Each structure stands twice: as structure tokens, then as C-alpha cells.
Structure 1
């Protein structure tokens, strides 16, 4: 029987106070890792730490409040969480905006948060992984990296760049015990998605039913025909973060229900 055992490993999960990031932190803690959660605001970080501890009593959990959309924030996280065996670059922002209305400042914000946070945290933590000859770097990308939404061109472009970054870092770590991979979720029932879905849901519709309706209308190529649960994404990340995935690197692993219509 296969089991994911992360005892003795320390995982840093960026942007992990809610949604997919928090689900990943819970999953890694349950597998035995010491977990560092991160967000911009101290109260949100404190709540996330408690949520992980409730999920896995006795878990080792540290919280660091830092804005990773800035170089200073990335330095702050690296200084307060000095050890990292598993880095999950989850932090990201998204939103629908017509392309012609996206100004330079907004493009720069998406680049700083979605790409440079991963660049900086990888640069901070990969040297120690390479020195120990073991480590996992996981980028949380999106099916939008391959299926650029017309109303989220800046978001999709940033996620495409993330795939390139992850692939390049995997090659940089060639021949070592350090792997670098991307995980590509599709529509997922996070808190933000739930608010959006329920705002337009039909009377009496459950969240899951609203998710099905959204996918059918906006992602008709989906094979599963529904939005993913947070745990389904976190399960993939837990595997990729584990010793079991030692022959998987430089990969773009899709957890998007078959939306991307390619083999």
C-alpha cells in the first residue's frame, strides 16, 4: 500500500490563508510535514494556522505574514522560515478584465505577484535543497496557462510564463534529487469561486450544482463536467511533494477535469 510520508520535511506554502493554498497546507501537514503558511495579513495567517492545527492535531505549523508581491516580503518570509524542503508557489491573483482596459500597472502587478514571487522564493530556497540533494518545488499554475481566457489575458499569460519558469528550474536541477513541477487546476470550489458562483446561482441551487452549471456554460470541454473540490487539487500536490514522485520533474500536471482538449 502506497502512503505519503512527509515526516521530517518542512513545507512552505505561499498564499495559503484560504482556498487551494490552505487545502494544500492541510494536506501536507496531515502527511507529517512541518508547514509554514503565508498571507499578507497577520489575522488571516493566524486563522490559517489554527485551521491547519484543527485539521491535524499536533501538527507543526508556523505562520509568516508577508506580502510576496514585493521583494521585501519575499526576503521577510525567507528570513523567518529558514528551512524549506518543499516549496509550493501557490500565491496568485486573478480577475476578469477586458484586454484593452488592462493598463501597464495592472500587467506589472500580475507579473510581480504571480511570477516574481515564485522566482524569488525559488531563488531563496532551492540552494539548500540542492545542497541536501532533496527537494520539491511545486508551482500552482492553471488550465488557463494552456487555454488563455479572452477576458483574463493577463492572468493566463502569467500562468503560461509560470510553466516556462518551472520547466527551466527543473532543468537547472538536473541530475539531483530536487524536482520542479507545475500543477494546473481548473475551476475549483474555493471560497472566492463559491462567492462568485452563488452570486449568480439559480434559486435553491447548491454550490456544487452552481459549479456544474458554470463549467457547462464556460468550460464546455470539461470531461468531468463539474468544478473540482479543493482536496482533489491538494491530493495531487501532496503526491508531487512526496518521495513517491521522484521520477516526475519538469511536468505540467493537470487537475482540470479534462478541459484542455489535447492528449
Structure 2
């Protein structure tokens, strides 16, 4: 299968590192003109330069904006008036006991993980519909189904993304626009590597070995028994954004290594 996204523009939020950067690079390799997004101009510029260095001739530019806020989303839309592909990757996570999580923290997760995608979809979907083609992808998580007891606030936000993506798919029926959610499981992103680094050093193990131990302890239902790579997640997203995925919409597509024990 050859995926060709030449002539398409793709916006990936929070794409200066980790899964977002891998998605942006995958879309650029498929020929899309990619817009990198992050909160800080310096990291945005570094990500753009990195992709151009790895993919000579790639059309990549960046927009610094904090999509966790309404003002940041407005600034991003002002800098990029339309896009053919929108990947809502921006998100935050972290363990915290339910009884220690106050209203402000719940709101922060909702604004970052849910409303960023809602605001950008509201801005860009009408243009996609007018052009009879578009792709919107929400990066959710296996935690949307498998709610972590120590991250209920996070799981809630990821489940909310599934409701928004499914509803938008129905709203855009007949328009040539698809809306889907991709659900990564444990993934060796930059954030996860940083989280495991001290443990790996103390035990004299590699990050990959430490990640395997973590999954055995905290995600024992994993079938592959390891963390996914960011490229493995990106591969699913690039396919969902392709013309070949035209009959896939309203779906929750898992790249979780089989963690969710469901048929």
C-alpha cells in the first residue's frame, strides 16, 4: 500500500516531541505539508529543523500556540486558516489520587485533552466539508476504556474524546470527511522514557527492559508484553489520514498491544 498525501496540509498539535512528532514525520514522509505545533517557539523550530534534516525537501512549518486555551486555539487558527488533516494530539497525563484532585485540576485536564480538539475541529471542519475531503483524528488512549484508578481525571478526559469523535463522525456524514480516534497503549514516548530513566539507571537496565517490567506489573493484560514505539502509533494515524481509509469513520482504533481485554 502506497499512501500519498501530496497536496494535503496536515496540522498536528503538540508535535514537537513524542507521539506527535512521530505522527508529523510520518505524514511528511507521505507527502503532506505539515504544520508543527507546540507552546514554545524554540521547540517548534527545533522540531521543524529535525524533520527537514531527516526528510530532505519536506514541506514543514511551525506555529507556536498553547492549544489548552481558547486564545491559543484562536491564535493557531489565525496563523493557519484551513487544513485538510487535523490530528488532535495535545494532552497531559499524570497519576493523582481522586481525593487529592481538585476542581482546577479536573478543569485543566478537560481544557487540554478535550476542549483543544473541540475548538480546532469546530474551526476546521466546515472548510473540510466545503472541499469534500478531510481527516480528523483524536489521539485518545487505552485508558479511555481501562480507566486507571490512580488517574481517573485522565481516563475521563480520554473517554470524552471518544464521545466527541464518534459524534462528529455522525455530524459530518456524507461530507467526505472522516473523524476517528486512535488509542495508544503504553508507548515509549519522551515523557515515558523520562519517567522510567531513574529506575532504569538504578537497576542497571535499558529503558526498553524497564518498560517491559513496568508493563508486566501495571498492564499485565498486554499481549505484546512491551511498550509500543512512537512510530508504531504514528503508522496507524497516517493510515487513518489516508485516502485508503475512506470507509473508516467514527471508529476507536487501538494501538495498545492488546492491553484492553475486549473482542
TM-score (norm 1): 0.98
Unaligned runs of 5+ in 2: none
- How much has 1:208 moved relative to structure 2? 1.1
Equivalent in the alignment of 1:144:
143
Q: What's the RMSD between the two structures over aligned residues?
A: 0.7
The more displaced of 46-55 and 140-149 is: 46-55
Q: Return the alpha-carbon distance in structure 2 between the equivalents of residues 245 and 219 of structure 1.
A: 30
Q: 1:62-117 CA distances to partner (integer Å, 9 max, x unpaired)?
A: 10000111111001101101220000000000011000000000000001000000
- How much has 1:210 moved relative to structure 2? 1.0
Unaligned runs of 5+ in 1: none
Q: Return the alpha-carbon distance in structure 1 between the equivalents of residues 114 and 31 of structure 2.
A: 29
Q: Return the alpha-carbon distance in structure 1 between the equivalents of residues 212 and 50 of structure 2.
A: 28
Equivalent in the alignment of 2:65:
66
Equivalent in the alignment of 2:259:
259
Equivalent in the alignment of 2:236:
236
| 1:7 and 2:6 aligned | yes
Secondary structure class of the residue paired with 1:200: helix
- How much has 1:188 moved relative to structure 2? 0.4
- How much has 1:176 moved relative to structure 2? 1.9
Q: Which runs of 4+ in 1 moved over 4 A?
A: none
Equivalent in the alignment of 2:39:
40
- How much has 1:143 moved relative to structure 2? 0.2
Equivalent in the alignment of 1:76:
75
What does 1:25-174 correspond to in 2, within 5 Å?
25-174=24-173
- How much has 1:122 moved relative to structure 2? 0.2
